[in-house]
Amino acid sequence: MNTHNLLHELEAIDSYRRYGKISRVVGLLIESKGPASSIGDVCLIHLKNSHALLKAEVVGFRDENVLLMPYAPAAHIAPGCLVEATGRPLSVRVSEELIGQVCDSMGNPMTGSRLSKGAVKVPTNQTPPDPLSRPPIIEPIELGVRSINGLLTVGKGQRIGIFAGSGVGKSTLMGMIAKNTSADLNVIALIGERGREVNEFIEKDLGEEGKKKSIVVVATSDQPALMRIKGAMTATAIAEYFRAQGKNVLLMMDSLTRVAMSQREIGLAIGEPPTTKGYPPSVFALLPQLLERTGADKKGTITAFYTVLVDGDDMDEPIADTARGILDGHIVLDRSLAEKGQYPAINLLKSVSRVMPQIVDPAHMQAAAKFRKLLAQYTDSEDLINIGAYKEGSSATIDAAIHYHPQILQFMAQHALERVTLKQSAEQLMIEFGEEAAENGI
């Protein structure tokens, strides 16, 4: 750095420290008189009878008072505590050393190890790439799951939602994808999970093989709402850092619904009106800001999977409906299929990959379309078939659907430890449902 630039940097430094005082604490919200700050800035609260500092973020203003949300439980806060402005939003330190680590919402390894001085600071809140600079999605990504590779092919830089109720197998599916993907590394965000489930996912579903090329960001359900949102933001910022290095990153977030619920807590606390089913407007502003940050840019790609919890398997609830409109496809896990013993319990007829026609060859696409037609025909006629009301020969398409149904079930089912490549999935699909299906009038 030359002398002129150094002087310019020194002149830009704000040498003043700005302070305010806490005047009120209501629930999740801390209200202080000052300091001068902006939305998203981090402030430091000087706790009384302690030398500790509590980080909090500016989330709004009421009259001339500053509204803050803490990053940690708000214990030992008293009226008159000093609030110091940093003038900066939250940033996290990122480097290759994070790979294989489990981090908290602030990007700090939970093992207690420290990153070297070469780590780069990146802001957690970043703007999405310019839409005109985004390259088209033209190349599929390997995921290791036959039904997704063959029938819902995902491209590098695509964003997919996994819609499921509780206990339908989404964590196991995420673990399979993380272990088998061809991406350079995985960034996995566990947002709002029960503490017990975190280690269970890492040890059982992810395993040693998956952990070696993964960065796991954890924000458990007992943490403040702001920390849960920051967990999602930090994971996305880490993925963006590696995308800027030219890597193909796989980002998985479980779950987007809990991120939205955290924002609902904050929005209601600062006085936003509840609108759609109790969600304030800021929730529906946050979702596109978060989801649009992933995808492809000129340097690399972030292929993203977001799980969405659907209460009572209601696919039209507000968060599911909003996410489905933003994402480039959705995979629906069906409880009724899980109860029948099908794993992964993917309801193909309710799932779609919007970029699949652009990234697979025509023969593959044709075989997938025939598979869907056979499955749809069998599903429509299943009640008649089960009660014996259908007579063989009445319909050539139903006859073919009955004939191929065992192969359909076999293709959709896969053991959690089994790995099926994209090439193997496409070849099996075209052999079993390509030319042979055409010969049977489908």
Range 311-332 average pLDDT:
86
With H, G, I as helix, E, B as strand and everything else as coil, classify residue 93: strand
Range 311-324 average pLDDT:
82
Alpha helices in 245-299 (DSSP H): 256-269, 281-291
User: What band does 332 get if pLDDT is binned at 50, 70 and 90?
Assistant: very high
User: pLDDT value at position 435?
Assistant: 65
User: pLDDT value at position 377?
Assistant: 93
Q: Residue 250 forms beta bridges with which residues? A: 186, 303
Pairwise pLDDT comparison (235 vs 133), residue with the higher score = 235
User: pLDDT value at position 8?
Assistant: 64
User: pLDDT value at position 437?
Assistant: 46
Range 203-216 average pLDDT:
89
What's the chain's average pLDDT?
89
Task: Tell me: pLDDT of 135 over 70.
Answer: yes
72: DSSP letter: S
User: pLDDT value at position 428?
Assistant: 93
Q: How far apart are CA 386 and CA 390, in angstroms?
A: 9
Pairwise pLDDT comparison (111 vs 90), residue with the higher score = 90
Q: To 10 degrees, what angle do helices 281-291 and 225-244 make?
A: 20
Range 61-76 average pLDDT:
87
User: pLDDT value at position 205?
Assistant: 85
Q: How far apart are CA 246 and CA 296, in angstroms?
A: 10
**CB neighbours of 88 closer than 8 A, spacing ≥ 6?**
41, 42
User: pLDDT value at position 386?
Assistant: 81
Instruction: Tell me the per-residue pLDDT of 250-270, one tens digit each, with 9 for 90 and over.
Output: 999 988 999 999 999 999 988
The DSSP string of 108-124 is -BTTS----TTPEEEES
Range 421-434 average pLDDT:
92
Torsion of CA 192, 128, 242, 208, to 10 degrees: 30
Residue 18 one-letter amino acid: R
pTM of the model as a whole = 0.90
User: pLDDT value at position 406?
Assistant: 92
